[in-house]
Structure formats: C-alpha cells, structure tokens
A and B are shown apart, each in its own frame.
Chain A
Amino acid sequence: MIVRRTDQQRIVITGVGLTAPNGNSLAEFRQSLLDGRSGVIEYETRYFGKTVAGVCNFDELRYQKRKEVRRGTRAGGIGIFCSHEAIADSGLDWQNVDKANVGIYVGVTEHGNVETENEIFQISGYNYDTQFWSHHHNPRTVANNPAGEISLNLKITGPHYTLGAACAAGNAGLIQGVQMLRLGECDVALCGGVSESIHSFGIFASFNSQGALAKHDDPTKASRPFDAQRNGIVVAEGGCMMVLERLSDAMGRDANIYGEIIGYAMNSDATDFVNPDPDRQAECIRLALKRAELDPDDIDIVSTHATGTTTGDTQECKALRQIWDGAGHTAMNNTKSFIGHAMGAAGALELAGNFGALRDGVCHPTINLDNLDPECELPGLVINQPKELGNVNVILNNSFGMLGINSVVVVRRI
C-alpha cells in the first residue's frame, strides 16, 4: 500500500552524532572513508588474547563526569556522547525543547555481556563469593541501559528504550524513530545504535569458534568484505545517534536537513540461526523500495551490510543481484571494510558515512578488496578508491543480523 504523506508525516534527519574507530564526528568519519583510513588496530582481551578490533577513542569526559563513567556502561557512554553531538549538530534550541516530547530509541545487538563478564571475573578474585557481586550489575545490564543512560544524562523524560535487533539494530533504531514521530508519540526522535561489544571476550571467542573471526597480520587489512581471502568479522565498537523530526518542524526552524527517510522495511528469514537467506533479504529490499515508491535504478548508492564472512557476503550478493542486474547506474560500497563490524551501531554508522555523497556526489569505496571473490561480483561495486558519481539523491542502507533479521532504510536528499 502506498501512502501519500503530508509534511507532518515526512520524517527527516537533522542531526548526526557519532563515534567510529576512524572518526569522532561525521566530518572526520567521512574524511577517513574518502582517504581509505582504517580504524582497525591490534587488540587484546581477557582470556581470548590477541586479536584485532575497531576501537573508538572519543572523549568520554566531554559530556559525563568521571563518576557517571564509572557507574555506567561503555554502551551508555557511547550513546551519551553521540546524543549530545547529534543534538548540537541539529541546531535545536535544546534548552527550550520540551524533554517530555523527545523519544530515545537505541538499537543494540546485545547488551549486558560486558558487565556480566566483568562481574564474574571480579568475583573470581573472591573465590566466586557472590556477596562481592556489585549492586551496579542490574542497572548496568537491564536491556534499556544505553537508552536509559542517555535519558538520565540529558534529562529527557519522554520514552526511552532499546531495540534488540542483532546487527540490524542501527537501522531498527532509526525505523522506530520514524514510526514514533508519525504516530505522534514524540516530536523529536533521538535514535540510532550503539555497540560496546569489543569489551566482551565472549563475542570474539564465539565468532572464533564459529570460524568467523577475521585474522590478518596487518589489522587494517583484516576486514575485507567480498575479497577472496576474507576470513571473518572484525568486531568493532561505535555509536551513531541521529535527530529525526517531522519535515514541517524542520522547515519551520530552517534546520539543516541531511535527508528524508522515504522508505524502510524489516522482515525475517525464518530459516537459520546464523546463515542468511538471500530471498528474504531481497524481499526486504523490494519492500523498502516499494514504500519509497522507487525503482532499483533510482538508488544511487547501496550501502551493503557485508561483514567479511564467507557465507554472509555471498548471500547478500545473491540478494543484491536479484534486484540490480548491472544495467543501471547504481553504485555499491561497504563501510565495514574500514572500521569492522560495529554491531548495533553498524546500520546507523554506515548510513551516516554515506551522507556526504548526497552533497558532493562522491561515493566512498569498499577497501581491502584485492582479489574479488567471483561469487561476490556486484554491479557498480566501488573498489578501493572513491568514485565521483555526480548527482547523488538516494541511498539505500542494508543491515542484517543473526536469527534472520533483515532491515533496509532508504534516504533521499531534500
């Protein structure tokens, strides 16, 4: 069903705040993507030992006191940093915004593993006597924690919650923001996704046991989606929060508008715990295109989800080739090749990384692609160097996750 929307029902992005392994603002992040600068470094974690990871270096104390950092979680701290940056970027008169009408919707792949692992390790020093288990554990591990910490820090009294959506979570957070604005549940949606996963040894160990953890002598070359020598995922931390408003409100205050979310879709494979189903992914993309009232060739850039796993990349490529046959002009890229997989933040971060193209027409590439896997041949794939596309009007952003959760967001320049 196609719905004609009024300006009150059209939802636009007016602010972006982020931290990525290769940038702590949208401008820094964009420049790193154009310059081919990776954010993946050597990393060592408890029990698991040496590996590689995408590590952020934002200033934790810019918006939090030391006591808040100590009491809260890394995911909460990332969310707070990104939210402050997004609000400042939006130009909202924040002092006079009714905080009861601000909604916080934060996508997370998982939450609580880091804190639980830390507590178990901590009580191991006390012969596992649970009387030494911290009273901070429950508020740190409740599933709404990252969104709740944003609410506490910014004194936002509207609804706050997280969306557990595996690696589709960043898109899911944005989609929730769109829906709540259209329903009138809030006037400003602060939404996106965060990830603290690199602080959990379990995620590295589990991907390793699955044969899906990237390894490379040079950390900057470890994340290599579509390459024949790819060998798995580089785990990364990060966050990206966006300010969403109704078009009528944004125009009323003459706000800078990055773009309008004109389409989105979520669906489920219902086939496997980890292996994706290209038919359902393609179905999700087609539904997002239909809702956006666009044909595949109307899309200027497809921001792919590919994580660098053998199966995942080929399955997404199968889905994409069902829709884009190479006859059109659509370009495709991948941001995980620079920063690794920022899990719950990935969808929002990777979309934001492409916003610059809506203004300058330049598509950042997928890097570390030395020998293209024939099964990963994609029409319009931008390889290793940025590509001048000319006019870029529409970006389609894929984000998929375990248990067969698929999400697609379509953004158009205004």
Chain B
Amino acid sequence: MTTAEIRKAVLDILADIAPDEDLSDLKDDVTFRDQLELDSMDFLDIVMELRKRYRIQIPEEEYTELASMGSTVKYLEPLMKDVE
C-alpha cells in the first residue's frame, strides 16, 4: 500500500467507528481526540479493524502511535507496505 492508500484505509475505519463525524477536513498533524469525539473504546476499534482488515498486530505499548492521522500513517507504513 502507498502512503495515500494507508491514509484512505484509516479514514475508512474512522468512518465506520465514528459515523456521525465529518472527516473531510481531518488534519494529519492534530490528534484525533482534538478533532473527533473518540474515547478509549474507539481506539481499540481502530486496532481491531486493522487486525481484521489487514492482519496488522499492534502491541498495546504502541497504541500511542495512533494519536493522529500523521503518526498513524507513519507507524503503519512499514507494516502495510506489502499489503495489497
């Protein structure tokens, strides 16, 4: 997957777990929590959906990497580069 495709994959997950949110202006360098109504259960949903859709395993100590779109994509790039 390219960087743009990974970003799109994360956006698709966010659209499913936060269906009331407008994601069109989501800023990559601002934390999700500062832009969206997300709680800890939502972040677990992101982890679960990455596991289900792409078989990506994220260790609990690395959940903090999912703070913003920018940090998430950067974290996922090496893990998803071979995902088609």
Contact = CB atoms under 8 A, between A and B. Distances in A.
* A and B are interacting partners: yes
Interface of A: 65-67, 70-71, 126, 131-132, 134-136
A55 B18 CA distance: 27
B31 to A, nearest CB: 19
**Secondary structure class of chain B's binding surface, majority of residues:** helix
A71 B41 CA distance: 9
A132 B44 CA distance: 12
B59 interface: no
A132 B52 contact: yes
B48 A126 contact: no
21 contacts: A65-B19, A66-B20, A67-B17, A67-B18, A67-B19, A67-B20, A67-B37, A70-B17, A70-B19, A71-B41, A126-B52, A131-B51, A132-B48, A132-B51, A132-B52, A134-B48, A135-B41, A135-B44, A135-B45, A135-B48, A136-B41
Contacts of B17: 67, 70
Interface string B13-25: 0000111100000
B40 to A, nearest CB: 9
From A67, A71, A126, name the one whose CB has the most chain B CB atoms within 10 angstroms.
A67
Contacts of B51: 131-132
A126 B48 CA distance: 13
A218 to B, nearest CB: 38
Q: Shortest 8 CB-CB distances between A and B: which pairs?
A: A66-B19, A65-B20, A135-B44, A66-B20, A67-B20, A67-B19, A67-B18, A132-B52
Contacts of B45: 135
Interface of B: 17-20, 37, 41, 44-45, 48, 51-52
| Interface of chain A, main secondary structure | helix
A377 to B, nearest CB: 54
A354 B41 CA distance: 43
A292 B51 CA distance: 60
Contacts of B52: 126, 132
Contacts of A135: 41, 44-45, 48
A6 B51 CA distance: 61
Contacts of A134: 48
Nearest to A139: B41
Contacts of B48: 132, 134-135
Given A67-B17, A132-B52, A134-B48, 7 more contacts: A65-B20, A67-B20, A67-B37, A70-B17, A132-B48, A135-B41, A135-B45
A76 to B, nearest CB: 15
Contacts of A66: 19-20
A67 B41 CA distance: 12
B19 to A, nearest CB: 4
B20 to A, nearest CB: 5
A324 B53 CA distance: 63
A97 B44 CA distance: 36
Nearest to B18: A67
B11 to A, nearest CB: 16
Contacts of A70: 17, 19
Contacts of A126: 52
Contacts of B44: 135
Contacts of A136: 41
A65 B41 CA distance: 16
